[in-house]
Chains A and B, each alone.
Chain A
Amino acid sequence: MSQDIDIEGELVTRVEGHGEIVVNATDGQLEECEWHVVESPRFFESMVVGRDWDEIHHIVSRICGICSVTHTMTGLKAVEDAMDVELSEQDVKLRKLALAGETLQSHVLHLGYLALPDLVGAKSVVPMANTHEEEVKTVIRLHKLGNELIETVAGRSTHAQRTIPGGFSQLPREAELRDLRASLEGSWNDVETVVDLVLSLADELPEFTRETEFISLTDPDGYALYDGVPYSSDTGELDLADYREIVNEHVVEQSTAKFTKHDRDSYMVGALARFNNNYEQLGPMATAVADRFGLKPICHNPYLNNVAQLVETAHLIEHSIELIDSLLESGLEAQSDYHKPDVDVTAGQGVGAIEAPRGILFHEYALDETGTALEGNCVIPTNQNHANIQLDMERLVPTIIERPQEEIEHTLEMLVRAYDPCISCSTHYLDVEFVDT
């Protein structure tokens, strides 16, 4: 039986930002299959021009509410790179701790509030408060834990204040870190509850595989999040200074779309990319979670990005406990409550990269001798995933085209959500238009 399908540009819900799925078929023949991004441009690359070196991070934090810590710190890393500012070991550990908190809250938000409703057949988390009360409360506790981590270290969870060029304006107290450690240790039951729930619903995650390239940071000293160099599952280690040649933002023939590609026509970034590239460095609890799902590298099913986020949730808790132990062991070196690190303002060009919750994020700034920004460039993780989402859709749709339209739509929405796209992050988007396959 061949059917007509018309899935036309309804905004995908339960994702951050605005995107649309368009699929058209007549008599079972696929005519159109597109992933559109319709977010309004915000022009951050222009907004930073003319601003001072010590306010750039404050501005770029506003690229995205959900990953504001990552944008702040990537902005700081780029400015610090431009002016050769070195951070103390303590400050690096504290930044790593704040970043772990943000990735934890972001993963739990995505899994618990945005993706889980698909698996239990609910339209949102709100009705789940009645049908899955305990699980929802567990998700809330874990989400709060992530936010508490950020608040304790960086001052507040959205658009943090304490992270400034050269270090921190203010430090957490050791007693606060000890409390945090206790909360982290006490969260394993909650992690177990979420793992059990997702595992019981794992059959709902579609079996779909399309081989692709995975790009993330990699770091010999640990599972790369804050530090490291770019790494491709196809070509190995890459040079951060050449990040423009890694992402190759480009316009595709017969379309107005700006995509990224590296070794193939598309690549994937995010939790699954990190899992695939750095699996050996996950902590024991995280590896145990992966084992329960039978998840092994290299996994090419994008739907399992959800599971990779769950694996990382366990890893982030282990990682945070380690960081706190290490900070407490050496004792926090005190500083004023209004600390301003000494920074020699110089002209320069700098690049920073951090693993945001959704994948590798690049910022670059050129500064003049007064530290005023001359230009800026940001390459956002979600941007780097669009070509991969598009190619997944092109491969997936023909295999499910005989199914009812609603099911096709639902399967595609789940695909988009699996990437956890943070569309409002995007500083520049072009209309994603593809010709038929």
Chain B
Amino acid sequence: MTSKPKVAFFDFAGCEGDQLEIINLEERLLDLVEVVEVVSFREAMSEHSDDYEIAFVEGSITTPHDVERLEEVRSNADTVIAIGSCAAFGGINSIRNEQDFETVTERAYGEDAAMFDDPDAELFDSFEQAQPAKAFVEVEYEVPGCPIDGEEFIQTVTAILQGGDPSLANHPVCVDCKLAENTCAFDRGEICLGPITRGGGCDATCVSQGTRCWGCRGLVDNPAEDAYSEVLQEYGVTTDELLNEFTLYWSWQREHGPQADMQEAEQ
């Protein structure tokens, strides 16, 4: 019998909601630990080992210390998988990328914001931008979403273990929305990012719950921009309204493109 593949989980700047979604798999998580050996999962375990083949990383990279940790993970693992939108493409954390950093620190820390200029205050050595893991190291696969979908996570892990291809779907959320027989959010007067957001893992849950697509799974690889702008024109959406939507999850992606190459981003 071959030994079980060793997997490890690591978190950076984020809400840890993706690891929570994995814990929320409950009994199915117990099934999963039948086929893999979890050697590191700080949120749930005291054990830790640097001997692992598959590493899952959650959260954005925001400090030089994060980069050191991430590079160490990369050098230990054969396969690195970004889980959640913050790790995959910056996500909500990247809202601040569009804001002036000095203003950002002042708003959060008031008069103590000077700490961010103090070279001795190591904990405050923060990058001006929140960036995904792939801005610094090679990332083999992504499970996007805010939070991730537990089912999609299991499919990804299963595909990797079976030597298959865990590539993401590349159709817009609109396809899932039609399958769910939802009333179009535009028809309800909402601005919806469904037409250009990657579907295939969320079942258009937000629209199904009565709201709209916020774009949490990132842009599809080749967004049908012309068709989308026609829709926007038809419903009278202004450029300002749209730009505001684009800066919710996509600030990093907008700058670097939906298929932003590894290492391309500024460190």
Contact of A169 among B47, B107, B210 (CB under 8 A): B210
Say yes or no: B107 contacts A158, CB within 8 Å: no
Bound Cα distance from A125 to B99, whole angstroms: 42
Q: Mark interface residues in A110-143 (1 if CB within 8 Å of B CB, else 0).
A: 0001100100000111100100000001001001
Binding-face segment, A81-89, A186-194, A386-394, A427-435: A427-435
Asked if B1 CB lies within 8 Å of chain A CBs, one says no
Binds B, one of A59-67, A262-270, A397-405: A59-67
Chain B contact patch, size range: 35 or more
- The answer to whether A123 and B17 touch across the interface, beta carbons within 8 angstroms, is no
CB distance from A271 to the nearest CB of B (A): 19
Complex Cα gap A114–B13 (Å): 21
Are A63 and B15 in contact, with the CB atoms below 8 A? yes
Could you tell me if A62 and B92 are in contact, using CB atoms closer than 8 angstroms? yes
Q: Report yes or no: B30 in contact with A159, Cβ–Cβ below 8 A.
A: no
B21 contacts across to A, CB distance below 8 A: 65, 158
Q: Is the CB of B205 within 8 A of A143?
A: no
- B window 8-57: CB within 8 A of A: 11-21, 23-24, 26-27, 30, 33, 38, 41-48
- In the complex, which of the residues B14, B124, B183 contacts A424, with contact meaning CB atoms closer than 8 Å? B14
Tell me if A155 counts as interface (CB < 8 A to partner B). Answer: yes
Q: Is A212 an interface residue (CB 8 A)?
A: no
Whether A123 pairs with B45 at a CB distance below 8 angstroms is yes
Whether a CB of chain B sits under 8 angstroms from the CB of A170 is: yes
B206 within 8 A of A: yes
Which residues of A have CB within 8 Å of B197?
A: none
Which residues of the other chain, B, contact A157 by a CB distance below 8 angstroms? 24
Whether B233 sits at the interface, judged by CB under 8 Å, is no
CB of A169 within 8 A of CB of B92, answer no
A429: chain B residues at CB < 8 Å are: 123
* B210 touching A339, Cβ below 8 Å: yes
Chain A CB within 8 A of B168 CB = no
User: Would you call B209 an interface residue if the criterion is a C-beta within 8 Å of the partner chain's C-beta atoms?
Assistant: yes
**Cβ < 8 Å to B, chain A residues 13-29:** 13-17
Q: Which residues of A contact B17 (CB under 8 A)?
A: 62, 64-66, 68, 158-159
- Check A46 against B107 for contact (C-beta < 8 Å): yes
Within 8 Å of chain A (Cβ to Cβ): is B211? Answer: yes
Nearest Cβ on chain A to B208's Cβ, whole angstroms: 8
Map CB proximity to B onto A34-46 as digits: 1 under 8 Å, 0 otherwise.
0000111111111
Residues of the A chain whose Cβ atoms lie less than 8 Å from the Cβ of B18: 65
The listed residue (B19, B95, B147, B209) touching A155 by CB distance below 8 A is B209
**How far in angstroms is the closest Cβ of chain B from A329?**
25
In the complex the two chains form, is B26's CB within 8 Å of A144's CB? yes
Given contacts A13-B42, A68-B15, A123-B47, 8 further A-B contacts (CB under 8 A): A41-B62, A43-B108, A46-B105, A58-B214, A117-B46, A124-B47, A159-B146, A339-B210
Which A residues contact B (CB, under 8 angstroms)?
11, 13-17, 38-47, 49-52, 55, 58-59, 62-66, 68, 109, 113-114, 117, 123-126, 129, 137, 140, 143-144, 147, 155-159, 161-162, 164, 168-170, 251, 256, 258, 337-340, 375-376, 424, 427-431
Across the A-B interface, the 7 shortest Cβ-Cβ residue pairs: A65-B17, A169-B210, A124-B45, A161-B209, A170-B210, A46-B107, A155-B209
